[in-house]
Amino acid sequence: MISWMQKHNKYLVWTIWIATIAFIGAGFVGWGSYNLGSKAGNIAKVGNIEIKQSSLNQAYSNLYAQYNQMMQGKLDEKKAKELGLLQQAFSTLSVQAKILNYAKDTGIIASDKELISKLSEIKGFQKNNIFNREIYNRYLQSQRLKAKDFEETLKNEIIIKKTLSLLDTPALALEIETVDAAMHIADKFAYTVLSPSDLNYTTDETKIKSFWENQKEKYMTKKSYDLSLVWTSSNTTIVTDEEVKAYYEANSFNYSDTEGKQLNYNDAKEKAKNDLKLKKTKKSAQKSYIAFKKGKIKSSENIKLSLGDLKLSKKIWNELEHKSIHDITKPRIVGNKYVSIKINNIQKATVMSFNEAKTKVTKTYDIQAKKEALLALANSKLTTINENNADVSEFVTLEKYDNLKSLNSQESLQFLQKLFTSNKEKGMISVLDKVIIYSIIDQKLLSGNNAKTESIKQTVNNIKKKIFESNLIKILDSKYPTNAYVEGLIN
């Protein structure tokens, strides 16, 4: 009985990880950008649909903003590359294009009436809850977008939504009963939590050096730049309250909180004031740039910086990476100043010596070695685990559980999520830096809650929709192949 029920726990994965495919972002503020070297050309073709560089830039910007918000503003371009945001953005565009190909072949369209309705629903274009064309036009101008291109994007969103809605099917009684049963399985198990503190671990420098020898190319010095900077501050630029208010009203869509809600004038006033000062200072910064370029003025500061140093913005570093020695950048904004930058010299990244890399290598090696040692210890203890030599839980479910001994609330939940989606009666589960070995002692079905029937019904609908969408995309993958013109877009 335990074996049968544990095998059927796999249905719980859908109740834990239900997610719908997110296709088109509609943010007004872009965070991060990605330049593949093409200005206005196409970067790929999916079926009969070309994907533009500008579309990838927008998708990447929207995705960057989402991750940056989740990481509380700590995302940078290096981390974005590690997370593969460019590939994720392109994958989203590729999926969109496949669905649009299919929609075109099957005659699914978006009418002008549907477009107008969609456009009027966008809060950022509303004034007193009514669509305002003036705000809309200012937004298009500020983003350098043509109305027909933006509206084509909205039409595509409508078409994709209509196409996927064809996959919606109501839940059947048997499906509801199956998911309801899976959600109310309760486990009682013996378990032992192992952590790095249970190890008798000693750092071995010989092994660390051997570890470094095999992958020394991963430990490089940072590329560095010798730079001359000319700063132009906006602090002394005078603006009146009337000018600030007029500037805010003309650019109100640029001021929003972390949830994307537009800020009122009082909340946005200081930011609008700084932006206006920068706008009025731009001419002075351009004059300084020209004078600097002609050798009529000296630099404000000479400095050596490693690539990505926070003294300059990510956008500036992206620009500098594509410049050569003796090049001078036009004025760029850093905080409340403009800066023009001359590259005097560039030191390329080189492989670190062992001594230079030792701290980083030791940390990486110790983490990996401890993880392997912990798994070996867990494996040795797994064969003998029982309720006499381990902790024993009460009957627990994902909805009803207390923190397990030696695990906090988050760790307990992660462990149970993995346990309830496993088909093993005895095994080991890794949670962060810990390994939990367990053995199922007993299982039972708890009585369902009639009040949650609608919730379960919705869960079943989501499961089916997710499965149908996934299978549809697999079919479209072969029907509409992707041809990327640029390397690095596909993992």
At residue 117, what are phi and psi to the nearest 5 degrees? -65, -45
Which is more confident, 168 or 177?
168
Distance CA 396, CA 42 (A): 54
Distance CA 169, CA 175 (A): 12
Q: Is the pLDDT of residue 31 over 80?
A: no
Which is more confident, 257 or 161?
161
Distance CA 289, CA 297 (A): 9
Query: Residue 464: its pLDDT value, please?
Result: 86
Query: Residue 450: its pLDDT value, please?
Result: 58
The average pLDDT across 122-144 equals 88
**Where does the pLDDT of residue 388 fall: very low under 50, low under 70, confident under 90, or very high at 90 and above?**
confident
**Where does the pLDDT of residue 380 fall: very low under 50, low under 70, confident under 90, or very high at 90 and above?**
very high
The average pLDDT across 301-314 equals 93
Q: Is the pLDDT of residue 288 over 60?
A: yes
Give the tokens for residue 462. 């989501």
Q: What percent of the chain has pLDDT over 90?
A: 47
- The CATH code belonging to domain 11-169+465-484 is 1.10.4030
The average pLDDT across 233-253 equals 91
Strand partners, 188: 442
Distance CA 491, CA 484 (A): 12
Query: Residue 449: its pLDDT value, please?
Result: 59
Query: Residue 119: its pLDDT value, please?
Result: 92
- Establish whether domains 185-213+355-445 and 222-347 are of one fold: yes
CB–CB of 387/441 below 8 Å? yes
Query: Residue 278: its pLDDT value, please?
Result: 94
pLDDT digit string, tens, across residues 323-379: 999 999 999 999 999 999 999 999 998 999 999 999 999 999 999 999 999 999 999
Distance CA 198, CA 195 (A): 6
Query: Residue 386: its pLDDT value, please?
Result: 87
Least confident of 97-106, 134-143, 155-164, 441-450: 441-450
- Residue spans per domain, the chain: 11-169+465-484, 185-213+355-445, 222-347
CB–CB of 201/303 below 8 Å? no
Annotate 301-339 with DSSP letters as a single string.
Answer: EEEEEETT-TTS-HHHHHHHTT--TT-BPPPEEETTEEE
The amino acid occupying position 103 is A
Query: Residue 41: its pLDDT value, please?
Result: 78
The average pLDDT across 81-92 equals 91
Query: Residue 379: its pLDDT value, please?
Result: 92
Angular region, 37: left φ>0, alpha ψ -120 to 50, beta rest? left
Which is more confident, 289 or 452?
289
Q: Is the pLDDT of residue 38 over 60?
A: no
Distance CA 171, CA 180 (A): 12
Query: Residue 170: its pLDDT value, please?
Result: 81
Which is more confident, 325 or 8?
325
Nearest to 352 by CA among 225, 224, 213, 226: 213
Q: Is the pLDDT of residue 5 over 70?
A: no
Report the CATH architecture of 222-347: Roll (3.10)
User: What is the number of alpha carbons within 13 Å of residue 425 lying toward its C-beta?
Assistant: 11
The average pLDDT across 275-284 equals 94
The amino acid occupying position 411 is E
Least confident of 166-180, 188-202, 353-367: 166-180
Mean pLDDT of all residues in the chain? 85
Query: Residue 229: its pLDDT value, please?
Result: 96
**Where does the pLDDT of residue 463 fall: very low under 50, low under 70, confident under 90, or very high at 90 and above?**
confident
pLDDT digit string, tens, across residues 203-227: 889 999 999 999 888 898 889 999 9
Give the Å distances, CA to CA, from 476 to 102, 298, 304.
Answer: 8, 60, 51
User: What is the number of alpha carbons within 13 Å of residue 411 lying toward its C-beta?
Assistant: 17
The average pLDDT across 416-430 equals 88
Helix/strand/coil for 188: strand
Query: Residue 113: its pLDDT value, please?
Result: 94
Q: What percent of the chain has pLDDT over 70?
A: 89
Query: Residue 49: its pLDDT value, please?
Result: 93
Give the Å distances, CA to CA, from 264 to 192, 240, 274, 334.
Answer: 55, 18, 16, 25
Residues 6 or more apart from 16 whose CB is under 8 A from it? 398, 417, 420, 421
Give the Å distances, CA to CA, from 474 to 11, 375, 481, 491.
Answer: 22, 36, 11, 17
Query: Residue 14: its pLDDT value, please?
Result: 33
Distance CA 245, CA 429 (A): 58
Query: Residue 149: its pLDDT value, please?
Result: 86
Distance CA 152, CA 23 (A): 14
CB–CB of 179/459 below 8 Å? yes
- The CATH code belonging to domain 185-213+355-445 is 3.10.50
